[in-house]
Amino acid sequence: METTRTHPASLVTRDDLDSLLAAIHPRVDHPAAGVFGPKSITWRINRESALFLAAGRAALLQLAHPWVATAIRQHSSVLNRPIARFHNTFRIVFTIIFGSADQAFAAARSLHGLHTRIRGELTSAVAGYEQGSSYEANFIPALRWVYATLIESAVLAYEVVLPPLSQAQREAYYAESKVFASFFGIPAGALPPDWASFAAYINEMCASDALGVDSSSRAMAQSLLRGAGSWIRLPRWYRALTAAWMPPRFRQEFALSYGNVEQVSADRARRWLPRVYRKLPSNLRFVGPYQEACARLVHKKAGPLIRRSNQFWIGEPRMPFAE
């Protein structure tokens, strides 16, 4: 269970991060292929643009953590531009997964440096957190929750359009995700041992007072689902699917509409999405950072279509930290 108080031993220092990254170096056989590489199940899942289907869900579950919502409000310029937060998140995530080894390590250090400056106090009582209680972005339990929302939502999105993962594949993905967690500064010992325990952890969190929604996080969630700050206007079926995937508690706390109309829309989306998705050409089906990585492995530069896809996914034409 998460704790609402910060304990010094649970804060990730730069030395902690460097130690975790040093342990990853031996697994890098080909630096240009990055830490995971094209044969990994991490590449197989995260290359799919279907991940966008559950991006809203992941973002809302993150906002359900009072520390995350307060940090965005107090330290970020994206309060009225939630799509910018989407870009900021996936810029780091995709660079760690699809970047070269050097890019991945640089992304982790950059993220940690950013997080060291994100600290403060809650301005109101939320869930199990008292007004005035302190928060820090490099607190392992908070980092673990953000990581968990990304990993679980990726599998959820993948399986709505493609054949479900086998138990062995799911365990392999979770094992690789522990390496991914190291880039956030989360040691493997701070994570559940297997997928079943991981799923139990998420259910426990969603039923606990470690999460909770106030008027500010509710407003941010509504703004996100309207596509505020972007030309993107999320369709009704996307909002319905997001609501369908949310725990009932958070449908209510975020004031998400989920009546008969939304249920029918979500069910219909589940039926037509696999048929349409599997017919997409590769330049639309696979995310730009994956395509950039594939081009890099054959010593080519990212072309116009890849750069345009990157612009959608990470808000930039190329993954950062390239030499």
For residue 25, with 0-12 CB atoms within 10 Å meaning exposed, 13-18 middle and 19 or more buried, which class applies? exposed
Question: How far apart, in whole angstroms, are the C-alpha atoms of residue 115 and residue 18?
Answer: 15
- pLDDT tens digits, residue range 241-289? 999 999 999 999 999 999 999 999 999 999 999 999 999 999 999 999 9
Give a yes or no: residue 284 inside a domain.
yes
- Report yes or no on 3 lying in a domain: no
Contacts of 19 (CB under 8 A, 6+ apart): none
Q: Could you write out the DSSP letters of every residue in 184-199?
A: TT--GGGS-SSHHHHH
**179: domain range?**
8-314
Q: Closest by alpha carbon to 117, among 157, 76, 159?
A: 76
Gap between the Cα atoms of 94 and 218, Å rounded:
27
Low-confidence ranges of the chain (pLDDT < 50): 1-4
11 forms beta bridges with 139
3-state secondary structure of 120: strand
What does the pLDDT read at residue 72? 86
Helices (H), 76-194: 82-98, 101-116, 140-161, 167-182
Do the beta carbons of residue 53 and residue 318 sit within 8 Å? no
First to last CA, the chain: 41
Q: Give domain status of residue 233, yes or no.
A: yes
Compute the distance between CA of residue 85 and CA of residue 92 in angstroms, rounded to an integer.
11
Q: How far apart are CA 315 and CA 307, in angstroms?
A: 10
For residue 319, the one-letter residue type is: M
Residue 241 lies in a domain: yes
Residue listed under structure tokens 């998460």: 2
As for how many domains the chain has, the answer is 1
Nearest to 97 by CA among 185, 147, 144, 33: 33
Contact (Cβ atoms closer than 8 angstroms) between residue 91 and residue 315? yes
322 inside domain? no
The sign one gets for the Cα dihedral 87, 62, 21, 158 is negative
Give the pLDDT score at 79: 57
In degrees, to the nearest 5, what angle opens at C-alpha 286 toward C-alphas 280 and 290? 165
The answer to the question of residue 124 being in a domain is yes
70: closest CA among 144, 1, 4? 4
Output DSSP code: residue 12: P
Give this prediction's pTM: 0.93
Asked if residue 323 belongs to a domain, the reply is: no
Match 């062995």 to its residue by tokens: 168
The count of C-alpha atoms lying within 13 angstroms of the C-alpha of 195, restricted to the half-sphere facing its C-beta, is 16
> Residue with structure tokens 């612009």?
311
Q: Which residues pair with 136 in a beta bridge?
A: 119
Go through the chain and tell me how many residues it has: 323
Q: d(Cα 202, Cα 315) in Å, to the nearest integer? A: 30
Q: How many CB atoms lie within 10 A of CB 134?
A: 13
User: Is residue 50 domain-resident?
Assistant: yes
The pLDDT score that the predictor gives to residue 1 is 43
